[in-house]
Chains A and B, each alone.
Chain A
């Protein structure tokens, strides 16, 4: 029978959680080496590993099965076409290749050829599952080292799936499924070099991890010169932050000098690897410098006018059925930001008060969180500049930030759960948290799949729509077909067949005179209602094709010259 806590005990416990976190015998002290998996059996670790893979497989399966593999979106469509062109050219630099990196095209094309799977099918069916499994697997192996506990590592790995942006990122068919997941591996190799270097006898293992780290950095930058180098940027910022903090703690600075030296070496060598790839292995025609120039231009305009050039977030909210729905499916974002930030503050204060006793991986975790937070803030600022290179920097950097926010979130939740277990039945607390996480995962999946129930920006298409477009191309040659108010069917067509309309015919969304025909379908009509935009006025009796679900209609009244 548990005693009812008094007001004093409440405050003591709260204080102990806030200040002494994690404390007490019942709490796991994951950062302590003495706890480090000492009591964990090999079987348990295997169970956790399988659980993580289970989550990854199930998430990937849901992503592809939600639309029966009939999905398409902008980046996936572009990459599908680019990957499809690579085998024709037999080289990594070819016309219309991805200018920021070659590795994804190479990887996907290799898989396609080795498995003899059509690139479009690979992109729609296989790589989403691979991406989700990578996320779970790499997340688990990395976080169990960062958090010093397999159990917490599992919780953190599964928590990655509560971030819908991460599921979307690793599911869709572009380089991000590898850059996001390999960043986790990079963090693992990074932390292992420091953890193992305490034991001088393990130097061959340390060297191996260092080599692995550089290989991963090389791969990351080869995938994307900018986002692949996120960990390098964050490492450099972390080094700066750590150096600045240690300036005020001379004793700790002395103690940590070897660590900082190794840190500097690792970060700077990674930077060199990055430059080697960008300048020599895959010089990408000044793309990065153009982006940098447009960022500087944007800042100049903002400084001159005092006003933001654009507000991409207003547009994002239009993509959802309502603001409330957007907030619900995005609710974990606020939970993650709040809990991780609070935990970060608590742990940071604690680390600063016991700098010399705080494990080095904990220090790195805190500085990396701060660094990615800074990058996120920069991303938000860039979004408001409205530069040509895109207006979703925050969203894309957020995925990397969340990968380092999740461990802190798990530490915070674990502490909170332990705290609540003092006052409430343990099983009740466990069930409550499990239920909450199940709700979050459902929200996450709804958002990650842009489910029509909550989203207006649909990614699904129907086979009958593709049949209608096929009919058009077979019979109308190079003529232009209007596919509705957005690019859903355009992207869908690329994902279905692996090539871009325009080589055979043209699909467009503008109601220009050049596109006198348009495709009508139940999905297009429903999507138009969702967006709140009218279906273009069409001639209701002038259909040239109908397969029961999709029609192609002539939308301009007959003229003396109509063909």
Chain B
């Protein structure tokens, strides 16, 4: 069997070689070169079409000298001489150069081709070319430079589907120059668009921004046609552009590469599901180098935006959705340093042209300033660990999450859970949870109703950059441990750091998976260590040690905006260079060393329940047996407290005084107020929870009446001696005397039952008048019809 195949193969090769030989000897207008490209056996047959030139005597190695790029044809076979994968034919049309490119199954299959006397006949796909490239003027070169004014038309595409070639072009790509030999812009538009409500790419554009990196392109396979290559290259956009048409021998597919550029610095791209001018989806996707001429990318801005009522956008469609990922590098050109993500209903204000298209978006030159200068409702700030690299910026903990959009649209009153409690992902692999999670080493902060321009500040306490006015944040330390950032007094700065062990798991069914995927969620966990900064005090607590410093410190050493240009980027580098590592996260107590002053150290004690008050702050100090107290602050802070016990301590900044009280345990008293509740009628329910103890109470709680869960509090705080009130709306489902339950981990006193009056089902009279709007004549007519049919039955069954 094997020998048969070998024999057949040899015969076929022999036959082909004979044919080629005969043709060559007879006409000498075609000639085949055999060699290797990236170690792949290659046969390139050059056919001199129509000119009747003798090419048999030309240099045997320089096959490209055998033909031209104006009238000849080139047949590329790989692996076997009869495995033709690419055919290119060149023509002149009205003084313009044209290249027709033939593929079968986009390069994956062999092309059926016949090499005739002075021409090449492609039999596959009805002889239709896969694409045709035509210069707008002149040849492939102008004045010694590559001519980047051309149009590339493609066949074989219907919407997002690959379809057989039919000779009608389905996609058109137009390229223009920024200067001779430099492609300045390109636009691509889908022509064959059979399903206008389906979401697939319809318009794309790339613009080379001023100051973009040097325009360097890979060497072409044949010098006379500068746009085609073949091989197994891995594209390195930061070094040079790949060739626009590249037959990739590993993928066995022809790649149509961006001509202007892609991931390299200075590129402004649009990738839209709708046609221009109202571009959406990934519009814009811009790369800035912050250094004129550099191909490196130091800032990536990637949008995911849809205007209001765009049927191609995700729900909720009725609100404008503009979301952006803004990531920048600082200390090396590989790793991302920081990122912000923003989301809100901001409109694209600019209208500008790219080639022959007008688009509505934010112009390339002012995009960074627009992002950083606009006021956004939802903002996150992310710092990845060192050595996190990639071409598209930081994906994680993003305001771009689809799950956050109902909140932003004002149609869901629950703040997205994963902002304060992100998922703790196991690694940086991308999955649908990426925008709501933090992989190990990633730190994120947020504000869910920001309405400010995103600003950052540098905290001297932990020596890290934070989101100014952030509501809080989480740092995934790995292994189920997090550092949580608190903003207790809701001002501009983080004032609490707690290291916690979290254990809460959530399971989600991810798209395409049949089983749920579980992950830890950073809900409040067990506090291992904590550090707080209020007024003049820094308070540290581990499980068994408390250290308090009274010292002068600033909450912010400096503020800065995310970098938008070369100068602000340099300023970032300069300011942050010496703080690249921040203070050690595993030794929070050492942070205090930078802030000497009056101290208090209590061994065998800890601080819990920290909160700010109107005039200062308040916490619970637990001292166990053998408590050791030392330091200058002992007397003013603790007074005579030395014995084991739980104490409530409050600091009043106005009086500069401490108040101490034995913390009697929390005792909750629940009272409900509602007026004549009845089934199925929405009720206004006033809940008042009073803490009769001195110690604060906080934790999850649930209010149940009968079988109904009326309300769930994720973390209810009832300070000692105070009453927390909340108004709820509830619709009773069951009538009668129902048990009242307030499930919370505390002693509770309350009424045990609630009486719910039943609501009667619709009465006969109401049912009768239901649709008649009280008009008697319709009721009379209805009864007449009823009487008629009753009479008819009576008569029928009596007579018949």
Contact = CB atoms under 8 A, between A and B. Distances in A.
Given A51-B795, A526-B766, A537 B790 contact: no
Contact of A534 (B377, B733, B770): B733
A48 B796 CA distance: 8
A426 B684 CA distance: 65
A556 B412 contact: yes
A62 B762 contact: no
A460 B411 contact: no
A324 interface: no
Contacts of A523: 770
Main SS class of interface, B: loop
A477 B318 contact: yes
Interface of B: 309, 315-319, 377, 406-413, 449, 451, 679-682, 684, 729-733, 759-762, 764, 766-767, 770-773, 775, 778, 781-782, 785-786, 788-790, 792-798, 800
28 contacts: A55-B789, A62-B789, A68-B773, A154-B796, A321-B761, A434-B797, A437-B793, A437-B797, A438-B793, A442-B790, A462-B770, A462-B773, A478-B318, A514-B406, A526-B761, A526-B766, A528-B680, A529-B761, A530-B761, A533-B680, A534-B680, A535-B682, A536-B731, A537-B682, A537-B729, A538-B682, A540-B682, A563-B319
Interface stretch (A75-83, A231-239, A445-453): A445-453
B767 A453 contact: yes
A514 B411 contact: yes
Greatest chain B CB density within 10 A among A65, A155, A445, A539 is at A65
A59 interface: yes
A58 B797 contact: no
Contact of A434 (B767, B772, B793): B793
Greatest chain A CB density within 10 A among B317, B682, B684, B770 is at B770
Given A51-B795, A434-B798, A526-B761, 10 more contacts: A54-B788, A61-B785, A434-B797, A437-B797, A445-B789, A513-B406, A513-B412, A516-B411, A529-B761, A559-B413
B759 to A, nearest CB: 5
Interface residues of A, number: 70
Contact of B730 (A525, A529, A537): A537
A430 to B, nearest CB: 5
Contact of B782 (A65, A536, A540): A65
Given A62-B786, A529-B762, A536-B731, A158 B792 contact: yes
Interface string A519-563: 000010110111011111111100000000000000011111111
B794 to A, nearest CB: 5
Greatest chain B CB density within 10 A among A462, A525, A561, A563 is at A561
Contacts of B789: 55, 58-59, 62, 161, 441, 445
A152 B315 CA distance: 62
Contacts of A516: 410-412
B344 to A, nearest CB: 9
Interface in A424-458: 430-431, 433-435, 437-438, 441-442, 445, 451-453
A37 to B, nearest CB: 14
Given A65-B785, A534-B680, A452 B762 contact: yes
Contacts of A55: 789, 792-793, 796
A58 B309 CA distance: 49
The 8 closest A-B pairs by CB, nearest first: A561-B410, A562-B410, A58-B789, A534-B731, A58-B788, A61-B785, A513-B412, A62-B785
B58 to A, nearest CB: 61
Contact of B679 (A54, A438, A529): A529
A556 B794 contact: no
A59 B786 CA distance: 8
Nearest to A149: B800
A430 B798 CA distance: 5
Contacts of A557: 413
A251 interface: no
A525 B680 contact: yes
A68 B800 contact: no
Given A452-B770, A479-B318, A526 B411 contact: no
A66 interface: yes
A462 B796 CA distance: 36
Interface string A132-172: 00000000000000000001101100100100000000000
A438 B733 contact: no
A97 interface: no
A377 B786 CA distance: 34
Interface of A: 48, 51, 54-55, 57-59, 61-62, 65-68, 70-71, 151-152, 154-155, 158, 161, 321, 430-431, 433-435, 437-438, 441-442, 445, 451-453, 460-464, 477-479, 513-516, 523, 525-526, 528-530, 532-540, 556-563
B797 A158 contact: yes
B797 A558 contact: no
Contacts of B315: 514
Contacts of A441: 789-790, 793
Contacts of B731: 534-537
B781 A65 contact: yes
Contacts of A161: 789, 793
Greatest chain A CB density within 10 A among B317, B679, B733, B796 is at B796
Nearest to A155: B800
B756 to A, nearest CB: 11
B309 A460 contact: no
Greatest chain B CB density within 10 A among A51, A532, A533, A560 is at A560
Nearest to A59: B789
Greatest chain A CB density within 10 A among B681, B760, B793 is at B793
A161 B451 CA distance: 67
B770 A67 contact: yes
Contact of A155 (B377, B409, B766, B796): B796
B767 to A, nearest CB: 4
B342 to A, nearest CB: 14
Contacts of B778: 65, 68
A51 B796 contact: yes
Contact of A154 (B680, B730, B794, B800): B800
Contacts of A462: 770-771, 773
A508 to B, nearest CB: 12
B782 A62 contact: yes
Contact of B794 (A151, A434, A452, A563): A434
B728 to A, nearest CB: 8
B785 A433 contact: no
A451 to B, nearest CB: 7
Nearest to A154: B800
Contact of B412 (A67, A525, A559): A559
A430 B797 contact: yes
Contacts of B793: 55, 158, 161, 434, 437-438, 441
B762 to A, nearest CB: 4
A524 to B, nearest CB: 11
Given A158-B793, A453-B767, A561-B409, A540 B684 contact: yes
A414 B792 CA distance: 18
A56 B65 CA distance: 93
B793 to A, nearest CB: 5
Contacts of A430: 797-798
Contacts of B764: 453
Nearest to B768: A453
Nearest to B710: A537
Greatest chain B CB density within 10 A among A151, A430, A513, A523 is at A513
